[in-house]
Structure 1
């Protein structure tokens, strides 16, 4: 048994990672040194990604999905193990089209009144497990994403928007989770990243690494869940440093 309290040879462990801000710079490709670190970790434990992004965006950033045992897009509302789908649900089925349309119409109306440094395209992205809302539009360049992130820290655009929606639609049981640089996610209560933990009931230990672990961040619920041993990181370099400290493996 090692300093983290488990016997590697006999106990089953999964190590889960957020993607943006944890394994990669937001919306960037995973770097070779991170791939190497994860490959060494995977020689000891199973590893997986749990992200609010959909599968296509995950693939854009991680390249070969076979480098992970589990791929859990949209907070694990969809789940893949070794490349095969093991689970799927949908927000459309959960809420119904009439409710969704009322919500989307209101959100579009709210954004039409916002005056920001710029606006681009794709302000609402409908995914299988959630709705992603981006006040400046998801078609921002990386430089524009960086600019909006700084602007948002000062003016709290997303925080104010979320508070308005939370009050307006308090009866729907929705959760609002701010993540990344430009957007926030909306999903039914319980459909946060902790949702994916149902896939790991047979595991003795579940580790999680994420950057948005504060209350209101999209890693918070899984971070505080009693099933996980979780760690806050401040970027990919910090993630690699903590992996090497917590899971020492042979070079």
Structure 2
């Protein structure tokens, strides 16, 4: 069936932008095939994109196989948009070390390591600090925990506010340093420069002059 001129214009001028964890997929899980099929049907009518806090490899793993994600979505914004793909091509990549400088970055990492060393939890695993291009991801239990351990920590965190207290300590220690903190998912939180949240991708989208951008997600 032929696409009308109005329909073609709408496809070019309207973007539906989706968060990943908690919106398109459960946290760190694969996308449901029915959801994936719906998105491709939607793509025939509008442009679609994803924005997530995870690095590109994790988003790609959740939303397809290999590099399918940049073929199935018109826009892919990894690490809150500090790594940007458009129509299958890498547009830009920003790095937290260049923005913050090595001294502040090491102060931040060292503080987190000292804080976590004093935490007593039912379980601790590995990868407590994951260094990404646009942020640090901090996990008191460690990102290598199993799904069952992830759920166990999440339930404990709801009661004892482990991540909330950690973030408050960081806010006090690094007040005025231009840092922001975001708790998401079940076991971790992100640390990034001011302005490097999911709205960061809007600067790139502004250049494409969309009439309408619909965002679906938590933040």
Q: Tell me if both proteins adopt one fold, taking TM over 0.5 as the criterion.
A: yes
Alignment partner of 2:107 out of 98, 102, 107: 102
Deviation at 1:89?
1.0
1:204 is the counterpart of 2:205? no
Map of 1:8-23 to 2, 5 A cutoff? 10-11=9-10, 12-23=13-24
Q: Which residue of 2 aligns with 1:181?
A: 186
Alignment partner of 1:150 out of 143, 149, 155: 155
Q: For 1:26 and 1:99, locate their aligned partners in 2 and report how far apart those are by CA, in whole Å.
A: 30
1:189-215: CA deviation from partner (whole Å, max 9, x where unpaired): 0000000111211111111111xx3xx
- Measured on the aligned residues, the alpha-carbon RMSD in Å equals 1.2
Q: For 2:38 and 2:85, locate their aligned partners in 1 and report how far apart those are by CA, in whole Å.
A: 22
Deviation at 1:170?
0.6
Q: Which residue of 1 aligns with 2:172?
A: 167
Structure 1: unaligned runs, 5 residues or longer: 1-6, 214-218, 220-251
Deviation at 1:173?
0.9
Q: For 1:121 and 1:209, locate their aligned partners in 2 and report how far apart those are by CA, in whole Å.
A: 32
Q: For 2:7 and 2:189, locate their aligned partners in 1 and report how far apart those are by CA, in whole Å.
A: 37
Q: For 2:82 and 2:203, locate their aligned partners in 1 and report how far apart those are by CA, in whole Å.
A: 10
CA gap of 1:13–1:105, structure 2 versus 1, over 3 A, is same
Deviation at 1:10?
3.8
Q: Which residue of 2 aligns with 1:243?
A: none
Say how many residue pairs are matched.
206
Deviation at 1:61?
0.7
Q: For 2:93 and 2:153, locate their aligned partners in 1 and report how far apart those are by CA, in whole Å.
A: 33
Q: For 2:81 and 2:7, locate their aligned partners in 1 and report how far apart those are by CA, in whole Å.
A: 26
Please give the TM-score of this superposition, normalised by the length of structure 1: 0.80
Q: Which residue of 2 aligns with 1:216?
A: none
